[in-house]
Amino acid sequence: MAAREQSGGPSEPLPEEHPPAALDVLHLDMDSFFAAVEVQRDPTLVGRPVVVGGTGPRGVVASASYEARVFGIRSAMPTAVARGLCPDAVFLAGRFDVYGEVSRRLREILESATPIVEPVALDEAYLDVSGSHRLVGPSRSIAEALRRRVRDELQLECAVGVGRTKLIAKLASKAAKPVVGPSGVVPGPGVVVVEAADELDFLHRHPVRAIPGVGPRTAERLARFGVSSVGDLASVGRESLVRLLGASSGRALHDLAWGRDSRPVVAERAARSIGHEETFAEDIRDGAVLARRARESATAVAGRCRAGGVEARTVTLKVRFADFSTVTRSRTLARPADTASVIGDAACELLVGLDTGTGVRLIGVHASALVVAEQGRALQLQLFGGEERPGAPSAGEDGDPRDEIEAATEAICQRFGAGAIALLGDQARSGPRSGPAGPVA
Amino acid sequence: MKFRTERDGLLEALATAGRAASTRGAGGPGATSLQLALHGNHLVVTGSDPDLVIEVRASVAGDSDGVVLVPSRLLVDIVRSFEPGAVTLTSDEDEVRITSGRAEFTVRIPVGAEISRLSAAEGEGITLPTTLFAEGLRQVVRAALADDTRAPQLTGVLMVATDAGLRLVATDSYRLAFRDLAGVSALAPGSEVLIPARALAEIQRLVGSGSDGAEGKAEPLVFHHGELDAVFDLGEVQLTTRLLRGPFPDYERLLPASYPNSFTTSRDDLASALRRVRLMVRDTKDATTPVRIAFGDGGAELTVLTAETGRAAERVEGAYSGDELVVAFNPTYLLDGIEAIRSDTIILDVIDSTKPATVRGAEEDDYRYLLMPVRVS
């Protein structure tokens, strides 16, 4: 293996090649979220230093507006210290129900870009957009569009970082933030994309504390060996790091210092699902009718999975009985799927296990444990109909034109809102009381 | 009720009727029970679920008349476990006693059980050519949909009266099979019925015309049907099935008008090669790992490639006319079609990688098996 020449930087050869340079990870971080929400809801606070946090003697700062940061106020600082730095700042206790509501709307915006959203906090999330390029465009466009929507719909600012890995995306979003200097707040670029070729340079410029897992104590220990930047860290041999920090964290830090971050963006299982529920005008007892309805919901779910470029590992059936008691049953698929037949089969198998004789008022199918759809998947074509309606013959000889239409419909609905377009048959079929369901609780 | 009979004959009657009794517990206790009705020396064993009833008549040495319901699976297992010889069955209000040799079983009668009955079909029965009909079933039933929730009408076999006779058609939307039975008139001209494939599979089994050509019961097969049900009489067995409701797909539109590419080869060679390369598909429910067939001069190259398992390839010699092309199929679906052919030489017609292919026998114009490829993107 040829050693890689890097002038001025660490010269240790890469032990292994980088994976393909797809910039598919986004990190979105709201700008001083709690404080900004307060300012947005109370115009008299605009332009003033606002601090949200514990107001008691032992309280700490949860969020500070940029105006407050100019005074040196930072998150996690004791509120008493913050008061000392800026006695004129507005100190608020915080209304977490309000922040939660805004966060929920933020999540909806993020999920319009990709179903694979991993929330880290109310104001921060990772996104895997590898399945979204066909519909939405390159990662930079996705990032800019998200930023625009957050501004337009939430009247809040955020920064988005784009990179090949979570680590790079996170550092990039930080680089996209406004900067507080002695002369005031300098706006940041808003979106920072770190190309794979620039990744190590970018990474190595950061202090070691920028790497997750490096706390004050580790940083101090490293500093004693003259290691202060990530670049310094990268130039320390793997074995030396292991001796210094122990096997697991030594190896982990060495990998991260070389940009090797294999942590996937994982959609949160419970909230990260694609679901479709239908409430019936009249309770249904007939198992065959229920199975058909379950398949209809599965068809809708499958269409949205495909539109989002994801496949489901888990299928959940939700059944609400006439007496409003509700059960959910889940099963894990042999392999991730995005087709109505597989998701429908799973839903129907779950349905068979339930006693529906007392009547059912709602049936829902949810796909969760979503993963990015495998490329180059094989698809068994059908003689007639879409994949979804074997009983309805159509002239389609080349498989599933309906799938394409469904996918296109989904894309339009995602961009312009549900109801912007629907297939005629769907409008007639689904009736007024059905529609996409929210995340599974 | 009390009677005495031979183990073998009784077991056959019970097992046959028991095939209509549900094993899943659907349809209440009646659907998992067999009804035994004795009148003189005539025993009638009935197994039923809401869609299928099988009645078997047997001669026994009757002692006292009566009717009793017994858990199906258990009764069959008990009688099967006996050595060949006499079996005595006695029942009272609460239990049934079954004895053979020194073994004695006392089985409680399921409470509240009642077996379902379908309405008797009306009209004159029509006698079908038993062996021919069963052979048609063997070729067609395989293409019907097994799962009954997605599209119930596809779990049936369509029987259509044609000018030339009777046509049997089945499709699960991925493949379609039809067989023309020349000169067979089972239905009024122009009419059609949709019969559950499950019932027809039982008929096929009862006739016992296996693919090895061994003929089982060649008794006349009498068929009649009403609006809701159809009845088949075969010797001592009567099978009544509920009919399915359409609409059945307009399958005739699906038949390609012409095939530009044609591969002619030995049925057995192609079938064995497919069975070999299919070994690489470890998950039998995996419908997405295809066999890729590259057609070219003098033969076809079969390849199965999976990320987990590895690769298998085999070349099958044959005559090919047409463009060089690669088409992927579900190997099991393709094998189903090939195994349905009677001729030793088969013709595989293809259009391209996304259009239906056809499997047919070289001298077998009365059977077609259509199959959609697997799209590999």
Domain borders along chain B are 2-108, 126-251, 255-371
**Chain B contact present for A379, CB below 8 A:** yes
pLDDT of residue A308 exceeding 80: no
Give the mean pLDDT of B109-126.
71
Could you give the CA distance from residue A298 to residue A347 in angstroms, rounded to a whole number? 7
pLDDT band at B334 (very low <50, low <70, confident <90, very high): very high
When pLDDT is averaged across residues B269-278 and rounded to a whole number, the result is 96
Which comes out higher in pLDDT, residue A381 or B63? B63
Pick the CATH number of B2-108 from 2.40.160.20, 3.40.50.720, 3.10.150.10, 2.40.10.120: 3.10.150.10
Q: For an interface test with A, which of B254, B288, B293, B329 has the most A Cβ atoms less than 10 Å from its Cβ?
A: B288
Model pLDDT, residue A142: 93
User: For residue A274, what pLDDT is reported?
Assistant: 85
Residue B32 CB-density burial (10 A; 0-12 exposed, 13-18 middle, 19+ buried): buried
- Specify the DSSP element, H or E, that contains A247: helix A247-257
- Decide if pLDDT at A39 tops 90: yes
Average pLDDT over residues A311-320: 90
Distance from C-alpha of A156 to C-alpha of A403, rounded to nearest angstrom: 37
Q: What is the mean predicted confidence (pLDDT) over A21-35?
A: 91
Q: Is the pLDDT of residue A266 over 90?
A: no
Q: Please give, one letter per residue, the 3-state secondary structure of chain B.
A: CEEEEEHHHHHHHHHHHHCCCCCCCCCCHHHHEEEEEEECCEEEEEEEECCEEEEEEEECEEEECEEEEEEHHHHHHHHHHCCCCEEEEEECCCEEEEEECCEEEEEECCCCCCCCCCCCCCCCCEEECHHHHHHHHHHHHHHCCCCCCCCHHHHEEEEEECCCEEEEEEECCCEEEEEEEECCCCCCCCCEEEEEHHHHHHHHHHHCCCCCCCCCCCCCEEEEECCCEEEEEECCEEEEEECCCCCCCCHHHHCCCCCCEEEEEEHHHHHHHHHHHHHHCCCCCCCCCCEEEEEECCEEEEEEEECCCEEEEEEEECEEECCCEEEEECHHHHHHHHHHCCCCEEEEEECCCCCCEEEEECCEEEEEEEECCEEEC
In the prediction, which pLDDT does A409 show? 41
Overall average pLDDT of the A84-104 stretch: 88
Average pLDDT score over residue span A284-306 = 89
| Residue A14 reports pLDDT greater than 50 | no
- CA–CA separation, B250 vs B252, rounded Å? 6
pLDDT band at B43 (very low <50, low <70, confident <90, very high): very high
Mean pLDDT taken over chain B:
88
Instruction: Say what the pLDDT of residue A5 is.
Output: 38
Question: Which residues are within 8 A (CB) of B191 and not within 5 positions of it... i.e. 6 or more apart?
Answer: B160, B161
- Closest by Cα among B343, B315, B317, B331 to B263: B317
Q: How many residues does this entry show for chain A?
A: 441
A263 has pLDDT over 70: yes
Mean pLDDT of A289-312: 86
Domain B255-371 classification at class level: alpha beta
Return the higher-pLDDT residue of A5 and A382. A382
- Model confidence at A393, pLDDT cuts 50, 70, 90, reads very low
Same fold, B2-108 and B126-251: yes
Residue in B with minimal Cα distance to A342: B287
Tens of pLDDT along B69-109? Answer: 999 989 999 999 999 999 999 998 889 999 999 999 999 88
d(CA B310, CA B305): 6
Residue B23, min C-alpha distance to chain A (Å): 14
Q: How confident is the model at residue A387 (pLDDT cuts 50, 70, 90)?
A: very low
B124: confidence class by pLDDT, cuts 50, 70, 90: confident
CB contact under 8 A, B356 and A397: yes
Nearest-CA distance A14 → chain B (Å): 28
Could you say which of A124, A278, A296, A410 is catalytic?
A: A124
Mean pLDDT of A274-278: 86
What integer is the mean pLDDT of A167-179?
A: 94
Kindly report which listed range (A172-181, A202-211, A386-395, B113-122) carries the lowest average pLDDT score.
A386-395
Angle between helices A340-352 and A287-308 (to 10 degrees): 140
Beta strands in A71-204 (DSSP E): 90-92, 117-121, 124-128, 158-163, 179-181, 184-186, 191-193
Confidence tier at A439 by pLDDT (50, 70, 90): very low
Contact at CB, B374 and A380, closer than 8 angstroms: yes
Determine the pLDDT at residue A377. 61
Strands of A124-128's sheet in order across? A117-121, A124-128, A25-30, A158-163, A191-193
Which carries the bigger pLDDT value, residue B184 or residue A413?
B184
* Distance of alpha carbon A206 from alpha carbon A167, whole angstroms: 12
A52 three-class SS: strand
pLDDT in tens, B149-200: 667 889 999 999 998 899 999 999 899 999 999 988 888 888 899 999 999 9
Class of the B126-251 domain? Answer: alpha beta
pLDDT tops 60 at residue A375: no
Based on the residue annotation, tell me whether A124 is a catalytic residue of this protein: yes
User: Residue A78 has what DSSP assignment?
Assistant: B
Out of A71-80, A89-98, B141-150, B328-337, pick the least confident: B141-150
Distance of CA A344 to the CA centre of its chain: 26
CB contact under 8 A, B249 and A393: yes
Provide, as residue numbers in chain A, all residues whose Cβ is less than 8 Å from the Cβ of B356: 383, 397
Average pLDDT, chain A: 79
- pLDDT of B47 higher than 60: yes
Cα dihedral: A302, A308, A314, A317 (round 10): -50
- Does the pLDDT of residue A399 top 50, yes or no? no
CB B247 within 8 A of CB B240: no
A42 in contact with chain B, both atoms CB, cutoff 8 A? no
What is the rounded CA–CA span in Å between residue A100 and residue A220? Answer: 36
Q: Output A427 or B167, whichever has higher pLDDT.
A: B167
Count A/B contacts: CB-CB distance under 8 Å: 97
Interface of B with A (CB under 8 A): 145, 147, 149-154, 171-176, 247, 249-251, 253-254, 283, 285-290, 328, 330, 354-356, 370, 372-377
Quote the pTM value. 0.54
pLDDT interval class at A337 (50, 70, 90): confident
Interface test with B, best of A379, A387, A394, A403 (most B CBs within 10 A): A379
Q: How confident is the model at residue B245 (pLDDT cuts 50, 70, 90)?
A: confident
Query: Model confidence at B113, in pLDDT bands (50, 70, 90)?
Result: low
Query: B375: which chain A residues are within 8 Å (Cβ-Cβ)?
Result: 378-381, 399
Partner-chain residue, chosen from A288, A383, A399, that has the shortest CB–CB distance to B149: A288
